Amino acid sequence: MYLKAHPSLDEIERENLCSVMDSLKLSYTAYTAHLPVPEQAPPAPGRAQLALLGLAETPLRQVDEPKTERRKSDEEAAEHATCEAPTVEHSAWEALPSAIACFGQIIARAQAKRILLFLDYDGTLARIVKDPLEAFITPEMRQTVGAAAEMFSTSIVTGRDVPKAIDFVKLDNLNYAGSHGLDIKICGEENHYQPFPYLEPLVSKATACLEQALQGIDGIFVENNKFCVSVHFRNVDEKDWDLVETTVRTVLRDFPDLRLDSGKMVWEFRSKEVFTKGDAVEYLFKYLLELLQTDRSRVLAIHIGDDKTDEDAFKMLREKDYGFGILVTKEPKPSQALYSLEDPSEVMVFLQKLVAWREEEDGIVELH
Ligand SMILES: [Mg+2]
């Protein structure tokens, strides 16, 4: 898995390794067969909507133009993390190198392409906190994401519902994919894309049942995310964790159309229909391609996230060759991502570097 994640392997080496090492790949074809697609072609975009989406027609550098020199800070960072091919003695971190240390490698991938950014919220833009309703982003992060969205079409892809995500982020030049992608609001458009609308009343009913069944447990928080319901037990005494799980599983029996999933200190009731963050990112990717009226070879998607639900997006980007993932983690772990960042503060630095790079690129174009 670490070998697979390493960016220095060429595609053939990766595929050879993947075919041996990644059994998950076998199930991917099955679920993409059921991937919902846009029911109708999006309307031709106006310049105002393109500008709002960070897709304004700005000239791009050609591949054969002189490359921009790597910044000194990249060189300094690279002293602490290498991007060399992995060997048995390399550590797990070296197989999932820092996106900051390898920034030069990343912008080399982005040459002559438009970048589409996909950002998870909790643990990626905002630190994980005890009360999920207080997972605010800092003003600096908001400013950084806003600046990034002016240059690159940017989408928030989160387990939170869309109104909650908008309320946290407070930026209107973004796309929002809430409820793990089951509710997608494109910037500047009224209608949402909701592949399974029948889930909303089902989730409301499940939320009420869970609240009633779990009401005696101190610290429990049941969150209705419109198309999925989350049971947060971060603040529950550890001696009650088994009780939480047993209760949640008991309630689930009354909802045969829902399945149980788990995240960081959270149980979730989600649709049995297969629609993941990977499907949401793929939907947005294709939608934005239509808006741009360009082909996929001119676009690079980058998804940044910290949870196992983000792995679906990382995996989709790798397998479709749409781009790559960046895992936010303090611990080295197997991942479908190509790079890593330690925490939201590093995510902010990475986004700032991306904005500064594009500003520099645009400046170079204007001089020609
Ligand atoms: Mg997260």
C-alpha to C-alpha distance for 112 and 181, rounded to whole angstroms: 29
Q: Exposed, middle or buried, 4 (CB in 10 Å: 0-12/13-18/19+)?
A: buried
Centroid of ligand 1 to alpha carbon of 264 (angstroms): 8
What separation, in Å, do the N-terminal and C-terminal C-alpha atoms of the chain show?
Answer: 44
**Which residues have beta carbons under 5 A from ligand 1 (an ion)?**
120, 122-123, 306-307
Centroid of ligand 1 to alpha carbon of 37 (angstroms): 25
pLDDT of residue 225: 87
What tokens appear for 92 in the block?
A: 């797990």
- Tell me the backbone φ, ψ of residue 321, rounded to 5 degrees: 60, 40
- pLDDT at residue 241 greater than cutoff 70: yes
pLDDT tens, position by position, 177-227: 998 898 999 998 888 999 888 889 999 999 999 999 999 999 999 999 888
Tell the CATH topology of 199-271: Alpha-Beta Plaits (3.30.70)
Question: Which segments of the chain belong to CATH 3.40.50.1000?
Answer: 93-195+276-368
Question: Which segments of the chain belong to CATH 3.30.70.1020?
Answer: 199-271
Provide the pairing of β-strand 183-185 with 175-178: antiparallel
Centroid of ligand 1 to alpha carbon of 72 (angstroms): 31
C-alpha to C-alpha distance for 243 and 191, rounded to whole angstroms: 41
Q: Which residue, chain included where needed, has tokens 């239509």?
A: 290
Candidates 296, 263, 297, 262; CA nearest to 282 is 296
C-alpha to C-alpha distance for 206 and 229, rounded to whole angstroms: 7
Q: Taking the domain 93-195+276-368, which CATH number applies?
A: 3.40.50.1000
Centroid of ligand 1 to alpha carbon of 159 (angstroms): 8
pLDDT of residue 212: 96
Q: pTM score, two decimals?
A: 0.71
pLDDT band at 29 (very low <50, low <70, confident <90, very high): very low
